[in-house]
Chain A
Amino acid sequence: MKEEDEILRKCGTGNPFTVPDGYFDHFKENIIEQLPEKVDQPTVKHHITRWSRVKPWFYMTAVFAGMLLGVRLMLNLTSGSESSETSKHAETEIVTDRYVETMIDHSMMDDYSLYECLTEAE
């Protein structure tokens, strides 16, 4: 790099800093003396009860049971609504126009009394 060469030419890489005499020789001894003693951290023993061991499995089973129940309920609801749909369909198929006409004939109803009957029903 051109700029780097220029800095090297002008300033070099010399170290302009100095230290007191014997600084590095004494540093090691000084720092080793200063090191704090290591204190063993007391380990806290937790008593594990049977319930705390079983708890996660219990919760997991409960979640799965809940999910199964939910799925089953949903399936039931869907099939229930499907069957009611089919039954409605069946009812409309049973009551055909010809059947209605026959029934009217048998009941000896004329158009006026039929109209009257229908308006009363409303």
Chain B
Amino acid sequence: MTPSYNEKEVLLLLQHEDTQKEAFSRIVAQYSEQLYWQIRRMVLSHEDANDLLQNTFIKAWTNIDYFRAESKLSTWLYRIALNECLTFLNKQRATSLVSIDEPEADAVSTLEGDPYFSGDEAQVLLQKALLTLPEKQRMVFNLKYFQEMKYEDMSDVFGTSVGALKASYHHAVKKIESFLKDSF
């Protein structure tokens, strides 16, 4: 049976070399699912999300000695995961021949043929609307809308003020609503 997650205990176990791996496996068990969904909403494909999630945990493991518990462990992991996503999306944009006018068209057609996507027409439209947003704004929207993350926690993840995040979410909501209004 998996022991219940206790962050203080995990942080203590992380400090000793012989218990570090055990602590890390508890972290993976605790955060892998929520991080996966966040990554998946950004990159859409399961294979890419799986690769990025693995990279996130490997980076976290190699840098775990530098984690000083000044922020929450989850915040630190989100920061690594979202940076991985941004790097991946920038590389993808640089290498693929995506249409400048409709960057979302290619991604949506891939999504519709994805066996691990079971959304209806409205959800496809929502994904299409999300793809029109700048990447950071999309991250903010996903964290607030789907995960209901607090602005204060988001501020730690992005290193941006709460006010700026609220404004970013507000703009994202307006853009998506306008996109959906034109499409429905």
A and B from one assembly? yes
Q: Does A112 contact B (CB under 8 A)?
A: no
B33:A16 contact, CB within 8 angstroms: no
Chain A contacts for B184, CB-based, 8 A:
10
Q: How far is the CA of A15 from the CA of B61 in the complex (A)?
A: 29
Q: Which residues of B line the A interface, CB within 8 A?
A: 17, 20-21, 24-25, 28-29, 32-33, 36-37, 40-41, 44, 46, 50, 53-54, 57-58, 61-62, 116-120, 122-127, 145-146, 170, 173-174, 176-177, 180-181, 184
A17:B177 contact, CB within 8 angstroms: no
B123:A36 contact, CB within 8 angstroms: no
Chain A residue nearest to B119 (CB atoms) is: A16
Chain A residue nearest to B30 (CB atoms) is: A28
Instruction: Give chain A nearest CB distance to B47 CB in angstroms.
Output: 10
Chain B contacts for A18, CB-based, 8 A:
116-118
- The total of chain A residues at the interface (CB under 8 A) is 27
| Cβ contacts A to B, 30 pairs, < 8 Å | A3-B173, A6-B180, A6-B181, A7-B176, A7-B180, A10-B122, A10-B184, A11-B126, A11-B180, A12-B122, A13-B145, A15-B146, A16-B117, A16-B119, A17-B37, A17-B116, A17-B118, A19-B46, A19-B116, A28-B25, A28-B29, A31-B28, A31-B32, A32-B28, A34-B58, A35-B57, A35-B58, A35-B61, A36-B58, A38-B62
Instruction: Give chain B nearest CB distance to A52 CB in angstroms.
Output: 29
Q: Does A4 contact B (CB under 8 A)?
A: yes
Q: Which residues of A line the B interface, CB within 8 A?
A: 1, 3-4, 6-7, 10-20, 23-24, 27-28, 30-32, 34-36, 38
Instruction: Give chain B nearest CB distance to A13 CB in angstroms.
Output: 6
Chain B contacts for A4, CB-based, 8 A:
145, 173, 177
